[in-house]
Structure 1
């Protein structure tokens, strides 16, 4: 079976070579038969890649330690869930998942792109095939997951204990679906440059794919943040690690691309800028792949430390980023310019949105790569951490968030700022009230924290105001307003939910960062301590034997006003014999949108070292991410994003017949 999996990967490479050449030549020659090859070959490549991935998964399930990849990352006593998730808990397996998702997106275009012009579809699949070929070669030449060990070891080395968690089942697949999903936008951009033509139909096709990738990347980043928060035992959710930044930069650029594509679709404007953004967004995804797998970074997130792999990925970066930008430089001047609009308009607001987002992306880019550049040139090691990003990123994002509620309330082509401001007067008043309440009743020592709370309220109520205005609330009867409300396009609800989710995330960030409490102390059994007005009692310490680990579990009780036990909390130190590694399993209890977080350290003569955090509103950080995902998904369900969807068209005789909307 293992040899079949390896051979399937080689066949997928061969099919990728056909996919990247034959349709491209056919598009140049106008040969429809050669262009028609793209669809079946793409689907066949996806089938063989799926077979290869399934066989590797089977090897993990069966604990086939004759495979070096399985031996290095699995153990016969490991729970079945972690045997399966261990497939992508390592460099080789995760790259195979990366390529599987890449060919999956190509197969989706082949299946659902029937309304695409033939030449555009052929060029898109050819570009997607070229990216696939590069990474198939990378896997087979430097990162083959099917390498054998002779003789086969009796037992495996086990998976990294930090990765033996449900988060591994969710975070990497979501993240890769986002990373790789932007490859479709990239392929459409390069295809448009090859063809030398771009129009609103192009934007109408790119926008749904961009939205899909954005939704998954949002989920991947949120899940990764929560995973680090509860698994690493340090009580934090983001510390501007270079690998964290590597996923954040495509998200920022993808958000800009999403808004730019809206302008292009609605007003045929920002054509060249949208093309460039699509190229840059996927380029940042490739950069993230390089940072994680090249060995240039030392991080808990990094997979590989082999320089030869880094050099291979660097060549891929130069080929696709340099090649696409060179093609852009050659063809951009020949593309037709977009439509005109007034600065005060919805288009203008979206352009301003793009300026802030791309500048913020550039800031994160510089802060991430500057230390690597200094080390490469001088050999000196410097670190760029939270102080730099807090001083540069936050001042750029704060004005953008202030302007977000205005955008949806402005008209296309020519807007009225005064009218939009009048509609937002209630949201503005509530935001000011939130600032005053925070300063005088919650914490008067931090004006920035109060401003953050007001900004979050402004975003949430601004999103709700948009829905209320579009429904005519206050101008028409309630029944009529309700009918208008339920009849609004799903994309309107999606936009409002995305902005509302952003506000919730901001509120969670401000609450956890500015209003939290921390306590570090040594505790004896039955000792009670207090944090943020809550009493916590350390009860007992007991050993527990797991399937492939030893646990020392500490039992804590959160006490109520009458000293009754309201919640039981378990926090532990875990030891994995196969890896000879210790981990910390934090104890967390959720109270509303806030959490009490307990992490234990070593046992000393004085007692057990305990760290406690009170994290007010911290759940909103990830809850806001889920709301943003829901907003993106709802926008995807909007019928207007389905190209070629049948629409009812009335004839002169009054009959109804199906029609097809032009792409």
Structure 2
């Protein structure tokens, strides 16, 4: 099975070369047969990559330690779920997952792109094939997961204990579906530049792919944040780690692309800008791949430290980012700029959205790469952390969040700001009330905290106001209002839910950062501590044995008003003997939308244990908001207008093809 997987990987590389060359020449020569080759080759390439990935996963599941990759990242005593997820819990396996998802998206274009013009479809598949060829070659040359060991070791070296968690089963696949999903937008952009033609239909074809990638990247970032929150025992949800930033930058640029494509589809405007955004979004995804795998960063997220791999990926970055930008510079002037619009309009609001998002992306990019540049040119090591990003990123986001509710209510071409402001008066009044109540009645609330709560309420009610206005709430009878609400396009619900989710996330961040409390103390068995009105009793420390680890598990009881226990919280320190590593397993109890978080420290000579306790108000809204944003993207994808595409051009082309001898 292992040799079959290796051979399938080599064949997939060969087919990716065919997918790159043949359809491209077919489009150049207007040869329908050559252009038609791209579809079956893309599907076959995906099948071969899936076979290769299945072979590696099978080797992990059966603990085949004759494979160097399995030996380095698995152990026979690991639970089966961690053996399987260990397939992508390392550099080589995760790169194979990367190309699996890449070929999967190419196969989707081949399977569902029948409404695309033949030349555009061929060029898109060719560009997608070129990306695949580069990364297949990278895997085979520097990161082959199928290298054998002879003689085969009896036992493996175990998976990194931090990765032995269900988060590994969810976070990387979601993140890669987002990262790699933007490759389709990139391929559409390069294909449009090759053809020298772009119109509103192009934007309609690109939007579903952008939505899919954005939806999965949102989920990947949210899941990664929650995984770090409960697994690392530090009580935080975002550290501004360079690799966290590397996933956040494509999300920001992808959000801008999503809104820019709407303007292009509806008003045939921002054509050149939308093309550039699609190129830059995937370029940032490639940059994230480089940062994780080049060895230039020391991070819990970093996979590799081999400089050879870093140089290879840098060459790939140069080829695709430099090549696409050079093509853009050569061809962009030949493209029509698109229609004009009044600054006070929905188009204007979306342009403002793009301005703030791209500036924020640039800010995060500078903060992420500046330490690397300083180290490269002066050998000095500096750190750019949360203080920099809080002072630069937050002031850019605040004005954008203030204007978000205005956008969906403004008319296309020319809007009425005063009319929209009147419709938003209820939302504004509620946000103002929330600000005043927070400032006056909540102890310890700063002015910024009160404003943050008000901003979150403004976003949430602004999103609901959009639905209420379009359903005619207050202007028509209830039965008519219900029919209007049900009959609204799914994309309207998608927009409202995405903005609603953003408001929920903002509320969770403000609640956690501004109203959370922390206590660090040494506790003996039987002692109690109070934190934010909750009483916690330390029951004791108890040893336990897991399948491939030993642990000291601390038991805590949550004491009710009557003095009797109302719940139990467990936190543990685990030791993995094979890796000689210790991990902290946090104890979390969710109380409505907030959480009580407990983490164990070192044990003292007198039998006491260092305990860290946090009260995290509204913290679950941070990730709940991400789920609501994903739901909004899914609703937009169900909109019939996105699924129909642009059939009229396809019908014309079919008629023309039928008339040829």
Q: Give me the TM-score of the superposition, normalised by structure 1.
A: 0.97
* Residue matched to 2:528: 528
Asked if residue 116 in structure 1 is aligned to residue 111 in structure 2, the reply is no
Q: Residue in 1 aligned with 2:17?
A: 17
Query: What is the CA-CA distance between 1:645 and the residue it aligns to?
Result: 8.4
**2:659 corresponding residue in structure 1:** none
Q: Residue in 1 aligned with 2:168?
A: 168
- Residues 118-517 of structure 1: matches in 2 within 5 Å? 118-443=118-443, 445-517=445-517
Q: C-alpha separation between the residues in 2 aligned to 1:372 and 1:568? A: 45
- Preserved CA contact (<8 Å) 1:512 1:617: yes
| Contact 1:549 1:574 (8 Å CA) reproduced | yes
- 1:549-572 deviation digits (Å, cap 9, x = unpaired): 101100000100011111100100
Contact 1:204 1:643 in 2 (8 A): no
User: Using the alignment, how far apart are the partners of 2:444 and 2:422 within structure 1?
Assistant: 30
Equivalent in the alignment of 1:42: 42
Q: Deviation of residue 605 (structure 1)? A: 2.6
8 Å CA contact retained: 2:243, 2:299: yes
Aligned length, in residue pairs: 648
- C-alpha displacement at 1:646, in angstroms? 8.6
State yes or no: 1:636 paired with 2:637: yes
* CA distance in structure 2 between the aligned counterparts of 1:646 and 1:197, rounded to whole angstroms: 18
Deviation at 1:444, TM superposition (A): 5.0
Q: CA deviation at 1:337?
A: 1.6
CA distance, structure 2, for counterparts of residue 162 and residue 340 of structure 1: 53
User: Which whole-Å deviations, capped at 9, do the CAs of 1:457-483 have from their partners, x for residues lacking one?
Assistant: 000000000000000111111111111
Instruction: Find the aligned partners of 1:444 and 1:588 in 2 and give their Cα distance.
Output: 24
Does structure 2 retain, via aligned residues, the 8 Å contact 1:250–1:281? yes
* Preserved contact between residue 360 and residue 393 of structure 1 (Cα < 8 Å): yes
1:616 equivalent to 2:617? Answer yes
Q: CA deviation at 1:503?
A: 0.2
Q: Deviations over 1:590-632 (max 9, x none)?
A: 0000000000011103411100000000000000000000000
Distance 1:643 1:76 in 2: 50
**Deviation sequence 1:414-469 (CA, Å, 0-9, x none):** 00000000000010011111111111111355111111000000000000000000
What is residue 655 of structure 1 aligned with on the other side? none
The alpha carbon displacement at 1:55 in A equals: 0.3
* Structure 1: stretches of 5+ with no match in the other structure: 648-659
Partner of 2:95: 95
TM-score, normalization by structure 2: 0.97
2:27 paired with 1:27: yes
Q: Secondary structure at the match of 1:642?
A: helix
Shift of 1:541: 1.1
SS of corresponding position for 1:92 = helix
Write out aligned runs for 1:584-603 (5 A): 584-603=584-603
8 Å contact 2:445–2:514 — kept in the other structure?
no
Pick closer, same or farther for the CA change 1:645–1:375 going to 2, 3 Å. closer
Counterparts in 2 of 1:537 and 1:424: CA distance versus 1, 3 Å: same
Contact 2:571 2:598 in 1 (8 A): yes
Instruction: State how far apart, in whole Å, the 2-side matches of 1:339 and 1:643 are.
Output: 24
- Report the secondary structure of 2:644's partner residue: coil
Matched residue, 2:62: 62
Cα distance in 1 for residues equivalent to 2:411 and 2:346: 6
Alignment deviations for residues 289-311 of structure 1 (CA, whole Å, 9 cap, x no partner): 00000000000010000000000
Alpha-carbon distance in structure 2 between the residues aligned to 1:117 and 1:645:
10
State the shift of 1:336 in Å. Answer: 1.0
What does residue 651 of structure 2 align with?
none
Inter-partner Cα distance in structure 2 for 1:621 and 1:349: 26
Contact 2:115-2:646 within 8 A present in 1 as well: no
Q: Comparing 482-491 with 170-179, which one deviates more in the overlay?
A: 482-491
Contact 2:445 2:515 in 1 (8 A): no
Shift of 1:172: 0.1
Aligned pairs for 1:64-79 within 5 A: 64-79=64-79
Q: How far apart, in 2, do the equivalents of 1:14 and 1:147 lie? A: 20
Structural mapping, 1:637-652, within 5 Å: 637-644=638-645
Q: CA RMSD in A?
A: 1.0
- Give the Cα–Cα distance (whole angstroms) in 2 for the partners of residues 311 and 181 of structure 1: 24
Q: What is the alpha-carbon distance in structure 1 between the residues aligned to residue 326 and residue 647 of structure 2? A: 39
- 1:504 is paired with a residue whose SS is helix
* TM-fit CA distance, 1:643: 2.9
Aligned mates of 2:235, 2:107 — CA distance in 1: 41
Q: Deviations over 1:365-403 (max 9, x none)?
A: 000000000000000001000000000000000000000
Residues 149-176 of structure 1, C-alpha deviations (whole Å, 9 max, x = no match)? 1100000000000000000000000000
Contact 1:196 1:331 in 2 (8 A): yes
Give the stretch that moved more between structures: 512-521 or 604-613.
Answer: 604-613
Moved over 2 A (4+): 643-647
d(CA) in 1 for partners of 2:637, 2:563: 51
Does the 8 A contact of 2:74 with 2:159 survive in 1? yes
Q: Is the Cα–Cα contact under 8 Å of residues 575 and 581 in structure 1 kept in the other structure?
A: yes
Partner Cα separation in structure 2 for residue 127 and residue 264 of structure 1: 23
Q: What is the rounded CA distance, in whole Å, between the counterparts of 1:611 and 1:409 in structure 2?
A: 47
Contact 1:639 1:645 in 2 (8 A): no
Are 2:42 and 2:106, in contact at CA under 8 Å, matched by a contact in 1? Answer: yes
Report the alpha carbon displacement of residue 115 of structure 1 after superposing the two structures with TM.
0.8
Separation in 2, partners of 1:129, 1:605 = 62
Q: Residue in 2 aligned with 1:569?
A: 569
The residue matched to 2:216 in structure 1 has which SS? helix
- Cα distance in 2 between the residues matched to 1:645 and 1:226: 40
